[in-house]
Amino acid sequence: MKIALVGGGTVGHIAPSQSLINAIKELDSKTQHFYVAANNKVDKKYLSSHQEKSYFLPVAKLRRYLDIQNFTDIFNFVRAFYSSLKILKTEKPNLVFSKGGYVSVPFCLAAYLKRIPIILHESDSSLGLANKLILPLTTQIWLSHPNCLVKRYLFKTYVVKLPIKDSIMNPNSGFEFAEYLDPNLKNLLVIGGSLGAKHINDFIYENKDTLNSDYNIIHIVGSRDFNSKHKITPKYIPLEFVNDLGPIYQITDICISRAGAGTLNELEALKIPSILIPLTGGQSRGDQLLNAEYFVEKNKFGKILLESNLSLEKLIPTLSSLPGRIFVYSTKSKDKNNAKLYGLMLSAANKPK
């Protein structure tokens, strides 16, 4: 079986597919794959660092408001569509696995016209616009949250958990900058996403001296916000981007994060006490707030702090209120889940056209 993995714009649209294909290859070493991602710096850097076979398409953003780029992006969409047809002709995949993002729409349309089965996966608590457009084209729909169920497509919908990379669950190495950590303090991990979260990043940097009284801070700033002021000092380790969070997660006592679905999946699996500062409806379609609420409802080690309330007076007592970390990892459960996903993929790939 040869699988095209499409999705991009942020690492959150790529990393879950990478975890999935690694799990599938453990079950079937003959499985082949390639990636189709957005033609931007983040996607290219991430995939090249992992030495993955990849194609990059121009992005035609789907805006819900009037903008001159809605017109110019029509040409990007057409270019992406014809490039997708060429890729499919060259690679001849048996199956397309789509993680969403604008880049997935022209590629899935091309795959549908060539009668290649498509599995769509939505990680968030609400469907993104790109995934809504792809729904009618799919052979199967995979959801992380039952909130996303669409009655019209129940017959081909499955609520599943995507695998988490083994390097996340069982890292092979220690944290690279461990010498800067004070062993008498708890380790606080701050994640703003692959691009960054400016308000959170600025707040942590401006208040790092106060927070360093009780915590070592490992601050993943993101490529958009990282600059020359971010220097490693004792108890404060700023990093532009991290390809493998496994060694950092292993030593993390508490995490402050946005509420992207991929990160929440990892925090939940690793039982890391977390303060979530989601993008709200004014900053996005509101999916992160729904993700955060779902996470907190399921896990007693999660708290929500809205960005508008972010202050030391709110943050410090919220940090103190979180329970200690308890980690339980079930290999048996992981193997059962991976076998289920592999079975679904085989079923989709072999469905009569």
Rg of the chain, C-alpha, whole Å: 20
Question: Do 77 and 97 meet the contact criterion of CB atoms below 8 Å apart?
Answer: no
Question: Do 255 and 276 meet the contact criterion of CB atoms below 8 Å apart?
Answer: no
% pLDDT > 90, the chain: 63
**DSSP string of 194-260?**
SS--HHHHHHHHHTHHHHTTTEEEEEE--TTT--TT---BTTEEEES--S--HHHHHH-SEEEE---
At 121 the three-state DSSP class reads strand
* Each residue's pLDDT tens digit, 85-133: 999 999 999 999 999 888 999 999 999 999 999 999 998 888 888 899 9
Same fold, 2-165+333-349 and 171-321: yes
Question: Which residue, among 161, 146, 344, has the nearest Cα to 264 in the 3D structure?
Answer: 161
For the segment 13-17, the average pLDDT, to the nearest whole number, is 89
Is residue 67 predicted with pLDDT exceeding 70?
A: no
Question: Do 102 and 130 meet the contact criterion of CB atoms below 8 Å apart?
Answer: yes
Say how far apart CA 264 and CA 124 lie, in whole Å.
Answer: 10
* Each residue's pLDDT tens digit, 216-225: 999 999 888 8
> Which region among 1-10, 68-77, 216-225 has the lowest average model confidence (pLDDT)?
68-77
> CATH classification of 2-165+333-349, choosing from 3.40.50.1000, 3.40.50.2000, 3.90.226.10, 3.20.20.80?
3.40.50.2000
Tell me what pLDDT residue 194 has: 57
The domain ranges of the chain are 2-165+333-349, 171-321
CA distances from 63 to 134, 225, 230 (A): 16, 24, 34
* Each residue's pLDDT tens digit, 161-203: 888 888 888 888 899 999 999 999 999 999 976 555 889 999 9
Highest CATH level, class, for 171-321: alpha beta
- Provide the H-helix boundaries in the chain: 15-27, 41-49, 69-91, 104-113, 129-134, 166-169, 198-206, 208-211, 246-251, 261-269, 287-298, 312-321, 331-349
